[in-house]
Structure 1
Amino acid sequence: MRIFPNNIKCLLLLIFFGMNSFFISAQNANRTYKSFEQKSDVINVSTNDGTYRFQAFTPEIMETSFIPSDGVFNAESYSVVLKPSKISPTVTEEANSLKIATSGITVLITKKPFQVKYFYEGEEVISEKLGYSKSDTHKKLDFNISEYEMLMGGGARALGMNRRGNKLELYNRADYGYGTKSALLNYTLPVVLSSEKYLLHFDNAPIGFLDLDSEHSNTLSYETISGRMTYQLVVGKTWEKITENFTLLTGRQPLPPRWIFGNFSSRFGYHSQKEVENTIAKFKKDSIPVDAVILDLYWFGHDIKGTMGNLEFVKDSFPEPKQMISKLADQGIKTVLVTEPFILTTSKKWDDAVKQNVLATDSVGKPFKYDFYFGNTGLVDIFSAKGKEWFWNIYKDLKSFGVAGWWGDLGEPEVHPTKLQHSVGSADEVHNVYGHYWAKMLKEGYETEFPEERPFILMRAGAAGSQRFGLIPWSGDVNRGWNGLKPQPEISLQMGLQGLAYMHSDLGGFAGDLEDDELYTRWLQYGVFQPIFRPHAQEDVASEPVFKNDKTKALAKKAIELRYKLLPYNYSLAFENHISGKPLMRPLFFEEPENYKMYAISNTYLWGDSFLVSPILRPGVTTKEVIFPSTNNWFDFYTGKKYIKGTTASVKVVEDHIPVFVRGGAFIPMARPMQTTANYDASTLDVYFYYDEQAKKSTDVLYNDDGKTPNAFEKGMFEVIKFNSEVNASEVTIKIQKEEGENPNSEIKGIDLHIENLKKEVEFVWVNGIKFTGKNYMHQGNLNIPVRFDQNETIIKIEFNN
């Protein structure tokens, strides 16, 4: 759907097509139509230089492949898991056209000159330009785009929300110490999203480029060194539906273990068992909640260089790892270990890796050895059966120590020479899916060996669809500076649109020795409202709040405590992502897709459906301009001040929190204080209803399960609380229903319902038809109503004294 008003849109279309109709229609003058063949749900269209293959996965997902005359169709996809629906499109042939129509997407092929166009609900979405072409080094697909559409995608980049005008390299690579701008980071995905509400996924693994109109010729193109010329067009009436469709195509994120929504103690790195235990003791002493400790590479070596690949605890500095991990677990602290796929020739496992034939090879089949920062190395061939089995057995052995999660570092892979060979192809052919298959190995290993446990898999690189393995991405080695903080919301928002909704950052920044308490505080306050709360940095300056000065520690503690209070909201948000693919962090254009100004904004965003968050990304800020979406009124989360929908306001900025607002009509579930999620008590929760007389109807859902069983929802091991409100001038009616699965672990016994923002006097409160005077439920000027779940439905009616 075009984002311009209709009159401007029509004028632009007339000008554009009037000036360019011949130019566009003549693009495929050398390609001639021959015939078509329909085999059930697949339509093959023959041309003089190859065959187009069209297949609808759903009415809103169409796959197109071009198979050159000298090629064959390759059906294998690393990314797509959806099986095509048995949709038999209607095919209509006329003298100069062929129409392939579903109930959603229609493909229109002009025979002479040859042209492929895509329509959704009668409106053109996109069209091929040259379509397929080939040079000496690359194969290419290109498309026409309108003059005014904005383009997003390409994975994790720091380029601004509108990435049009850039030619994006598709080659996963770390950018150490990056700041405000970075054209290439650890996750490069062959995915493009447009303000015209469509998504293109180029379903191919080898390296290449996404050109988002860098030559300003209204052209979008995909280039690759080899592989499939296959792409899926994904559309939908809303952005929520587009992300739902794309994650239906590539897989949904399983619910992670609940403990990952707590606070992590992490740095580069802890040198000894004593240092780990003393650090956690400080968290306990300061009563700062914490759920996990991450051990960086010193757990397997004293030095940064020369030890990678040992992958076993150093005996002198970690003398009793099992006892350490067990002791931490008794305190509710999970242990996470860093691992890398590089086996150094100086490591303890080099000889065995060579003997077992598990390493990537050179042209004559010998282990490919090369130098990089950490030493002379080989690389585990994650694609070979032997490589996977050997690598997995290391994890399996470490799992017996009680390890609760894994950090997969350097998995781009960081250095991956072109001449290196894997069992399934060259380094350049599989580079961008190495981390993807590493995560797949871990996920499948858990399903086989530890089927009762949800894995935690933190990975620095992956691919489109990696979310289905439970992969948790982060934004790499960001600079510890304000320039490092600034692009973080953009990176997370963009990745959420592309299916990887848990993208987050090293809170406080990673690279460098800058100690800036204001920066640290603002980054952690932002971290409350991003997917994973994990401060991490080089050890020159401490990343853990327990080592900060009293003031900074107190501010950090307040942010962390809020993170824990929001656990039921955040876990419900994770459940929503699991079943629908909706991102956790959502850009403002989800609210106003026709407002083109919203597509450029990343410094204010939605956290789930209920929160509007505006992080502080510059030092010394005392006020910030905040755009309030026109869908609802918004209330300051801390003061209750009301902001009118569709306005922009200058909001006062204070030290102890960033600007956060709640949607009028929202229900916000919150937990009671805890020091670790192991102590989470869901038996009684606080739920805050943000009354707004203009929010006539609203709904929300609170989801709960045991937080650890894989596929708990699918197994019926869950409970859901559904909230509905109806508001008019004289009363509010709130319906609260509890539903349980077939095998529930019923923890929620009741809630305390708090009605926020009431300015009117409450005369009566009706609870399931029983009438009470309003003052019975008033407490310090607020209306608080206890709800117990000894029955499945509670109806509350609040009558005002008008």
Structure 2
Amino acid sequence: MKVVKASILILLWCSQLICFSAGDPVLQSYEKLPDGLILKIKPAEKGQAQVVKLRVISDNIIQVVSTPQASLSEEESLIVINNEGSTDWQFADDKNTLEINTKTLNVKVSAATGQVSFYDKKGKKLLGELKETNTQGGNYKFVKYFSTDDSEAFYGLGQHQEGIMNYKGYQVDLTQYNSTAVVPFVVSNKSYGILWDNYSITKFGDIRPYKPLSSFQLYDNEGEKGGLTATYGYQNNSKPHVVKSENEIDYEFLSSLSNMPEGYDMSNGKIVWEGKIESDQTGKHTFLMPAAGYVKIWIDGELLLDKWREAWNPGFNIFRKELKAGTKTDIKIEWIPDGGQSFIALRYLPPVAKEMSDKFAFASEGGEQMSYYFVHGEDLDEVISGYRQLTGSAQIMPKWAMGFWQSRERYKTQEEIMTTIKEFRKRHIPIDNIVLDWSYWKQDEWGSQEFDASRFPDPEGMIKSLHDDYNAHFMISVWPKFYEGIDNYKMLNDKGLLYTQNIKNRERDWIGEGYVSTFYDAYNPDARQYFWGLLDKHLFSKGVDAWWLDATEPDILSNSSIEHRKTLMNPTFLGSATDYFNAYSVMNAKGIYEGQRAEAPNQRVFILTRSAFAGLQHYGAATWSGDISGRFDELERQIPAGLNFSLSGLPYWTTDIGGFFVENKYDRPEPKGEALEEWRELNTRWYQYGTFTPLYRSHGQFPYREVFNIAPEDHAAYKSIVYYNKLRYRLMPYIYSLTGQVYHQDYTIMRALVMDFPEGKEVAEIGNQFMFGPALLINPITEYKATTREVYLPKSAGWYDLYSGKFIKGGQHISADAPYERMPIYVKAGSIIPFGPEIEYTTQKPADEITLYVYQGADGEFELYEDENVNYNYEKGKFSTITFKYNEANKSLTIGESKGQFEGMLTERTFKVVPVSQSKAQPLNFNAQPQHTVKYTGKAVTLKLN
């Protein structure tokens, strides 16, 4: 090891005319470690780093750790499970810069400041830290700025539903909410990622604090300074309750609703704020509005927002507007709360200062020290692979989970569940999983994990019948919530495994007259073990197949302020709620995953959780997008939300097809006339999209969500929904092969165009199209009565219309037909797609006959993957693959040798080969005459295609 004392270094540097002023940081010493470097620096300002450490994890992954304390903490990460450093690297010291060199990276560290810069082997700068400063970061504990440029785009960071694809220039709030899932991993189109190893509330990007509305100069309707004219009226246009001047709109949380005018009835309310705003800066202003109910906003006469969200679950909206300094600009906000308690607020960010326009940052409220991992790759797949190398692989989901799930809020009795599954089988509509949502327990026994016997007289028999008689699986909703006084509460409370503050506050929930409750502390390993024990005893032992983990933000008291939410989970077993606020969901999932694998080691765990965090993919878990509204504009926002979630390294994601909560026109008491037809079309378009998300499930409140309750058999909605359901099952060989790649090659199923088509700005902002695997370009319809949409066909050898087989050149925007029954789907030239037999559940019969559609025009390859479907034997090498290769030059298809083996695998099968070419369009038709029929016995076969 090499230690260089500060006096020697300073003398050496001064002899080279590299001396530092008294205000600059000064290196005291550095030490070369087997896996990296550690630098000790005398900071110029209090709060800056005294110690900086770099560790080489692999050729393409570097960890950077720093602390303003005198020494680093040895605390283990909650999310990084593979932290072993590498010894295969080289070191260089050119006096003022220390260098780490791996096979793919050159990392330079300023000896004076500890600032780190990352370069590829060609010398191209990928990322560079900037001088430490907290002036732009508010009261954050850790802030780290990085440089960027106009060509860069940022993705990932979990699931956010403002409708934004590229986060460059925006602030991303990494705070867990219902419908916001936080993953502190960002990827750049420059093929690197940053895993920010911190569990506290964090901001990414433009981290400046949002300003309140009062920071504008405000004018009311009469031109008086000081506020907007606020009219608290009613929807029936009766005399307003009150008209007054207001300079803030801040009804964001339960605590702020007390500021409503006394005696005002929100349930029938209509509030209008209007007047003028005047900024002291010229440029693009960014507005943030958390809102529920109906809201419209006009600035300078332009309608910038027209949205509805259920009153009890506000969503975030971001919009931008150019303003001119010193110019009065008209503003009008119209809000119909649409509920007895509803929420709204408005704040903004002024234009970014010129000196900050080429910077982005991470800023966190808490933590022991600053730690992040820089991950590089040749493409974004390699970057995501690096993330999973750190945080754990994503398992292969049980095959049944890739089929269709039916759910609703909620099946209230055993009879309703059985009647539903019987109807699916009677109609021959494919289904693999039926889901029981919350409140299957007695009303006053939330947390008992026991069925109410009056409504579910024989749950064990019900589950057995689902398995044996109907070939269906059963998932159940499980909350980390316990009512005060029930047996499970007493047991956990006696052991100190519950959060206690909500009990002390006597806060009541929304059931009946309300019950006092709290959550268990998932950060406590004993609490996780006991929680699993309850699930095992009362549910898993009865045959439950999978777990639906709700409210895992944790949502102990909905719509509480963030500070109040912290008090409700404070302290955690590991430390303060400030330090550990965001990671609850991954700890909760970890306990169930580890518990079930110990109890049933060869049954694949399946978890669906409402919240997410880095590392969740390692625990057999997927995420859904929360309690979203049933509207076309909400459907539109799901697409970039899901794509960014996938780019965060978590491959399994889904939405409530149809949206969870609906407007009154759909459910009071049920839709009729135009509302009914709009409801049917909304579901049709959502089912079309949902067919090509990683997990395919319908869920929501009334109206009932089963296809036969949406429309009759002769209706276009019914026909379309069933068509895509059956297409999903025909595609099962393709889809299950992708799940195999998720584990074996760290693949991503639902793929933003930026992953596969490095075309710069042309694809950087596209968030309403995506690739489903390597072959299928999916283009959802998100407007009512739309029959066309614009589609960008990326540059490639060309594209084929899936339905007609018609060829279209790439590198162009087209107007694609989108009749009610169909969503535009295109197949990339060079694709090989295996279609299986028609089935009604995923394992009804083996894929002994596969139709291979070969889309000519470019070389192509696809690997068919198979294993035992429901166990972990694939981790022991028990799986098989068959590689298909198409050669465009000689128009030949090779069906490769079968490799690998597992119990029950097919030794013989039939492949029917259907080529599709530019000169010969071949519609998708499973009854079409194949060009070749191959009796395959595991040996390689090469075919000439016409």
> So what's the TM-score if we normalise by structure 2?
0.75
Match of residue 353 from structure 1: 492
Deviations 1:158-190 (A, max 9, x none): 231112233222221115xxxxxxxxx1x1122
Distance in 2 (CA, whole Å) between partners of 1:150 and 1:753 is 43
Output aligned runs, 1:493-642, within 5 Å. Answer: 493-513=643-663, 514=666, 515=676, 516-538=679-701, 540-550=702-712, 551=715, 552-642=717-807
Match of residue 20 from structure 1: none
Alignment of 1:736 with 2:895, yes or no, is yes
Q: 1:779/1:667 Cα in 2 relative to 1: closer, same or farther (>3 Å)?
A: closer
Alignment of 1:666 with 2:841, yes or no, is no
Residue number among 365, 372, 382 corresponding to 2:522 in the alignment: 382
Deviation at 1:137, TM superposition (A): 5.2
1:716–1:744: 8 Å Cα contact kept in structure 2?
A: no
Alignment of 1:143 with 2:143, yes or no, is no
Distance in 2 (CA, whole Å) between partners of 1:27 and 1:484 is 55
Deviation at 1:759, TM superposition (A): 7.0
Alignment of 1:327 with 2:327, yes or no, is no
Distance in 1 (CA, whole Å) between partners of 2:625 and 2:86 is 39
Q: 1:300/1:636 Cα in 2 relative to 1: closer, same or farther (>3 Å)?
A: same
Match of residue 183 from structure 2: 189
Match of residue 845 from structure 2: 680
Q: 1:136/1:657 Cα in 2 relative to 1: closer, same or farther (>3 Å)?
A: closer
Distance in 2 (CA, whole Å) between partners of 1:617 and 1:401 is 41
Residue number among 790, 799, 802 corresponding to 2:937 in the alignment: 790
SS for the counterpart of 1:558 is helix
Deviations 1:76-102 (A, max 9, x none): 111112243423432222232222222
1:409–1:460: 8 Å Cα contact kept in structure 2?
A: yes
Alignment of 1:655 with 2:820, yes or no, is yes
Q: 1:797/1:32 Cα in 2 relative to 1: closer, same or farther (>3 Å)?
A: same
2:800–2:808: 8 Å Cα contact kept in structure 1?
A: yes
SS for the counterpart of 2:182 is coil
Q: 1:418/1:103 Cα in 2 relative to 1: closer, same or farther (>3 Å)?
A: same
Alignment of 1:90 with 2:90, yes or no, is yes
Deviation at 1:33, TM superposition (A): 2.4
Distance in 2 (CA, whole Å) between partners of 1:601 and 1:70 is 46
Q: 1:625/1:396 Cα in 2 relative to 1: closer, same or farther (>3 Å)?
A: same
Alignment of 1:52 with 2:46, yes or no, is no
> So what's the TM-score if we normalise by structure 1?
0.87
Distance in 2 (CA, whole Å) between partners of 1:591 and 1:423 is 43
2:139–2:365: 8 Å Cα contact kept in structure 1?
A: no
Q: 1:308/1:427 Cα in 2 relative to 1: closer, same or farther (>3 Å)?
A: farther
Deviation at 1:632, TM superposition (A): 2.7
Deviations 1:496-528 (A, max 9, x none): 111111121111111124351111000001111
Distance in 2 (CA, whole Å) between partners of 1:196 and 1:91 is 25
Match of residue 727 from structure 1: 888
Match of residue 450 from structure 1: 600
Deviations 1:366-388 (A, max 9, x none): 98864444531121122223312
Match of residue 9 from structure 1: none
Distance in 2 (CA, whole Å) between partners of 1:460 and 1:468 is 16
Deviation at 1:72, TM superposition (A): 2.4
Distance in 1 (CA, whole Å) between partners of 2:690 and 2:509 is 33
Match of residue 154 from structure 1: 157
Counterpart of 1:467 in structure 2: which amino acid? Q
Q: 1:780/1:471 Cα in 2 relative to 1: closer, same or farther (>3 Å)?
A: closer
Q: 1:53/1:371 Cα in 2 relative to 1: closer, same or farther (>3 Å)?
A: farther
Deviations 1:766-789 (A, max 9, x none): xxxxxxxxxxxx999854322223
1:28–1:129: 8 Å Cα contact kept in structure 2?
A: no
1:55–1:64: 8 Å Cα contact kept in structure 2?
A: yes
List alignment gaps of at least 5 residues for structure 2.
Answer: 1-18, 44-49, 209-351, 558-564, 667-675
1:359–1:367: 8 Å Cα contact kept in structure 2?
A: no
Identity of aligned residues (%): 25
Greater displacement, 344-353 / 673-682: 344-353
1:37–1:45: 8 Å Cα contact kept in structure 2?
A: yes
Match of residue 766 from structure 1: none
Match of residue 617 from structure 2: 467
Match of residue 716 from structure 1: 877
Match of residue 287 from structure 2: none
Q: 1:319/1:246 Cα in 2 relative to 1: closer, same or farther (>3 Å)?
A: same
Instruction: Pick the structure with greater CA Rg.
Output: 2
Output aligned runs, 1:185-334, within 5 Å. Answer: 185=180, 187-212=181-206, 215-216=352-353, 217=356, 218-227=358-367, 228-301=369-442, 303=443, 306-330=444-468, 331-334=470-473
Distance in 1 (CA, whole Å) between partners of 2:396 and 2:855 is 28
Distance in 2 (CA, whole Å) between partners of 1:347 and 1:656 is 51
Distance in 1 (CA, whole Å) between partners of 2:25 and 2:759 is 37
Q: 1:745/1:714 Cα in 2 relative to 1: closer, same or farther (>3 Å)?
A: farther
RMSD: 2.6
Distance in 2 (CA, whole Å) between partners of 1:193 and 1:581 is 15
Residue number among 377, 400, 404 corresponding to 2:541 in the alignment: 400
Q: 1:53/1:336 Cα in 2 relative to 1: closer, same or farther (>3 Å)?
A: same
Q: 1:188/1:747 Cα in 2 relative to 1: closer, same or farther (>3 Å)?
A: same
Deviation at 1:349, TM superposition (A): 2.7
1:171–1:207: 8 Å Cα contact kept in structure 2?
A: yes
Greater displacement, 607-616 / 651-660: 651-660
Output aligned runs, 1:27-176, within 5 Å. Answer: 30-49=24-43, 50-112=50-112, 115-121=115-121, 122-131=123-132, 138-159=141-162, 160-175=164-179
Deviation at 1:139, TM superposition (A): 2.3
Residue number among 544, 566, 576 corresponding to 1:418 in the alignment: 566
Distance in 1 (CA, whole Å) between partners of 2:59 and 2:204 is 26
Q: 1:708/1:26 Cα in 2 relative to 1: closer, same or farther (>3 Å)?
A: farther
List alignment gaps of at least 5 residues for structure 1.
Answer: 1-24, 176-184, 762-777
Q: 1:234/1:535 Cα in 2 relative to 1: closer, same or farther (>3 Å)?
A: same
Q: 1:326/1:315 Cα in 2 relative to 1: closer, same or farther (>3 Å)?
A: same
Counterpart of 1:349 in structure 2: which amino acid? N
Residue number among 479, 501, 504 corresponding to 1:340 in the alignment: 479
1:478–1:506: 8 Å Cα contact kept in structure 2?
A: yes
1:342–1:379: 8 Å Cα contact kept in structure 2?
A: yes
Distance in 1 (CA, whole Å) between partners of 2:505 and 2:89 is 49
Deviations 1:698-721 (A, max 9, x none): 2111101121111x3332321211
2:521–2:572: 8 Å Cα contact kept in structure 1?
A: yes
Counterpart of 1:311 in structure 2: which amino acid? Q
Greater displacement, 739-748 / 420-429: 739-748
Match of residue 179 from structure 1: none
SS for the counterpart of 1:674 is coil
1:346–1:376: 8 Å Cα contact kept in structure 2?
A: no
Match of residue 751 from structure 1: 910
Distance in 2 (CA, whole Å) between partners of 1:581 and 1:790 is 30
1:718–1:745: 8 Å Cα contact kept in structure 2?
A: no
Deviation at 1:723, TM superposition (A): 0.5
Distance in 1 (CA, whole Å) between partners of 2:23 and 2:61 is 28
Deviation at 1:348, TM superposition (A): 5.0
